[in-house]
Amino acid sequence: MQTPQRFSALYTRDFRLFWFGQIISLSGTWMHSVAQSWLVYSLTKSPLSLGIIAAVSSLPILALTLVGGIVADRYPKRNILIVTQALSVLPALALGILTEMRIITIWQVGITAAFLGTINAFDVPARQSFLAEVVNKGDITNAIALNSAAFNGARILGPVIAGFVIAHFGLPACFYLNAASFVAVLFALVKIEAKGSAAVPTGGFIEGIADGWRFVKEEKTVLAIMALVSLFSLFGIPYVTLLPILAGEILKAGAKGLSLLVAATGAGSLVAAVTIAFKGEVKREDLFISLSGAVFSVAIFALGFSRSLPLSLLLIFFAGWGVVSCLATSNSFIQRRVPDALRGRVTSLYILVFLGFAPLGNALIGLAAEAMGTTASLKFLALLCIGGSILFYKVFRGALRTGT
């Protein structure tokens, strides 16, 4: 009997190229994210402005990601990714030039954020569903976990580099480096032998969206996952929007502290993703998703009480571990359940509730922080997520028992 290989997806050439290219590109993306957050904070000193810019960047995903899922099912995903990754260079260059010329305004940051969000509405569904085309079917779970590990490894590397670059070379350098980082993933996409598949259109866009929703509605386990991810996207994950306020005003740690906080989230997330990739599968998914979701929620709740940078870093590490353990396992579960013909559309529904709801969540947490204070808003919203994790366990376990 053959022993299964650890990190088996990396034995596939196409996935390996794509994976390494993403590590470089995503590191640049996280540099951009940290630099943009600090830029907004420097311009406005307002948690509401941070929430609004975060909302503007993800609002196009809410509006267009379902269309992006249909496009991903109808056109070669590799070609879509080449276009979206090339276009992503433009907002990074624009922010770099405007910041270096010292004519940057909050409105210009918002416009570039909205443009990048529009690109992501088509990029993310294609990228997530493209994984099934570059690995064997039995390696999909491993590929998803490794993809998450790349994302969260970059989440550590990018902010650490950003903190150094901001301190020694200034904010514009972060944006220029992000623009350059897209060359790596474009090179990988050109070299990949799997050119991507395209389905023959069988109906209109509305009918295509309805097909994906019907699948989710009939699969009660998938519907429960979508509900939990929606809750976290609205009330839990947007806590990252307030990190500049935590770093600058509560912890008194400045831009370096912000970089460390973001990197700590990435460290916990990376540990979660690598652990899942190494194990290959998660037993008792009902318990694991609920437990990891509760760990995330409790860590955010405790963060509202912390006034120490080391303690905050530890709590955010556990928050990163919890949310990625929950999301990676949830995504793997959905990818195993969905038929290939609906993969792009169901993936786009998952992205809609995961990323598309972010504008609402970012706006909510920004308003809550203005009204209640930063730490009080963290405590209140985290309590909602704790309750949701407990309820999910009961619903999901019941659906598994009934086979729905």
- Three-state SS string across 66-83, please? HHHHHHHHHCCHHHHHHH
Q: Could you tell me if 309 and 257 are in contact, meaning their C-beta atoms sit under 8 angstroms apart? A: yes
What confidence category does residue 316 fall into, taking pLDDT thresholds of 50, 70 and 90? very high
Q: What is the mean pLDDT of residues 143-169?
A: 82
| Lowest-confidence region among 44-53, 100-109, 368-377 | 44-53
CATH match for 9-191+201-402 among 1.20.1630.10, 1.20.1250.20, 2.130.10.10, 3.40.640.10: 1.20.1250.20
Question: What mean pLDDT is reported for the chain?
Answer: 85
> What's the pLDDT tens digit per position in 335-351?
778 877 777 788 888 88
Q: What is the mean pLDDT of residues 32-53?
A: 84
Q: Could you tell me if 173 and 165 are in contact, meaning their C-beta atoms sit under 8 angstroms apart? A: yes
- Looking at residue 1, its pLDDT comes to 37
Question: Shortest CA distance to 271 belongs to which of 120, 145, 166?
Answer: 145
| Phi and psi torsions of 7, nearest 5° | 50, 45
- Looking at residue 2, its pLDDT comes to 42
> What's the pLDDT tens digit per position in 282-296?
677 778 899 999 999
3-class secondary structure, 404: coil
- Tokens at residue 332, please? 């793997």
- Looking at residue 299, its pLDDT comes to 95
What confidence category does residue 3 fall into, taking pLDDT thresholds of 50, 70 and 90? very low
Q: What angle do CA 306, 309, 311 make, to 5 degrees?
A: 55
Rounded-to-integer distance, Cα 370 and Cα 404, Å: 42
| Phi and psi torsions of 282, nearest 5° | -115, 125
3-class secondary structure, 178: helix
Question: Shortest CA distance to 96 belongs to which of 35, 51, 161?
Answer: 35
- Looking at residue 30, its pLDDT comes to 86
What confidence category does residue 202 fall into, taking pLDDT thresholds of 50, 70 and 90? low
